[in-house]
Amino acid sequence: MIELQTASKIYETGDGLVKAVDDVSLSIRNGEFVAVVGHSGSGKTTLVSLMGGLTRPTSGQVLIDGKDIWALDNVNLARLRSEKIGFCFQFSSLIPTLDSIDNVRLPASFAGGGQGDTGRAMKLLETVGVPDKAKSYPSELSGGQQRRVAIARALINEPRIILADEPTGDLDEETEGDIMDLFENLNQQGVTVVMVTHSHNLASRAGRILTMNAGMVLEGTAV
């Protein structure tokens, strides 16, 4: 379960302090499929980053399975990120100097993986529909193909949580549909999926929708 307890994230900018996430308390149960919607700048990406331990809250707590993730040391926090959470970013997030299969294997190597990772990585590339691109570098892939490889990477360690920030942002409808089908399949297998999206159409495929505005969650379950 993912919990935020009165979590806030405040940034210093040239225009002063910005509350990207403002005193949010919510919980997401295991196996939920949650869509986070809202206008640009409403704090959706920051919210998901807080959930994934990518940014420390300015105040409040972030708990995964009852543990305050920011009470963990760096090694255990890194292990949490590689083993329990799979990230899909809204931009091309592949390492440009690694080919697709090495990109997919990357989290496994940080989790102490071995030779078996290559077989799993190939299987995942097949699952996401780009098995023929295993030896291609990101510059040789289209936007949609890169996104698919990034999803495969997010799944290599069989995480229990997928955090996806605009995973279908600039993709064609067919690819978008394929990716949503993939997320739904994963969710049916018990994976918790939290997806940020601008599209209410895509959000409607989730089991629950959180709407963000000016750093606050307008809908959600209070802890």
Q: Does 55 bind other proteins (CB under 8 A)?
A: yes
Q: Does 87 bind other proteins (CB under 8 A)?
A: yes
User: Two tokens at 49?
Assistant: 């980053």
Cα separation of 94 and 100, whole Å?
8
Give CA separation, 26 vs 74, 203, 222, in Å. Answer: 25, 18, 5
Count of residues engaged in binding other proteins, rule: CB under 8 A = 24
Q: For other proteins, which residue of 17, 75, 114, 139 counts as binding (CB under 8 A)?
A: 75
* Per-residue contact flags (x/-) with other proteins for residues 5 to 44, judged by CB under 8 A: ----------------------------------------
* Window of 48-56, 123-131, 135-143, 181-189 that interacts with other proteins by CB under 8 A: 48-56
For residue 166, what is the DSSP state?
A: S
62-81: burial string, b at 16+ Cβ within 10 Å, e else: bbbeeeebeeeeeeeeebbb
Q: For other proteins, which residue of 51, 69, 89, 164 counts as binding (CB under 8 A)?
A: 89
> Which of 132, 206, 134, 121 minimizes the C-alpha distance to 168?
206
Q: Does 111 bind other proteins (CB under 8 A)?
A: yes
* Per-residue contact flags (x/-) with other proteins for residues 133 to 162, judged by CB under 8 A: --------------------x---------
Contacts with other proteins by CB under 8 A lie at: 46, 49, 52, 54-56, 74-75, 78-79, 81-83, 87, 89, 91, 93, 95-96, 106-107, 110-111, 153
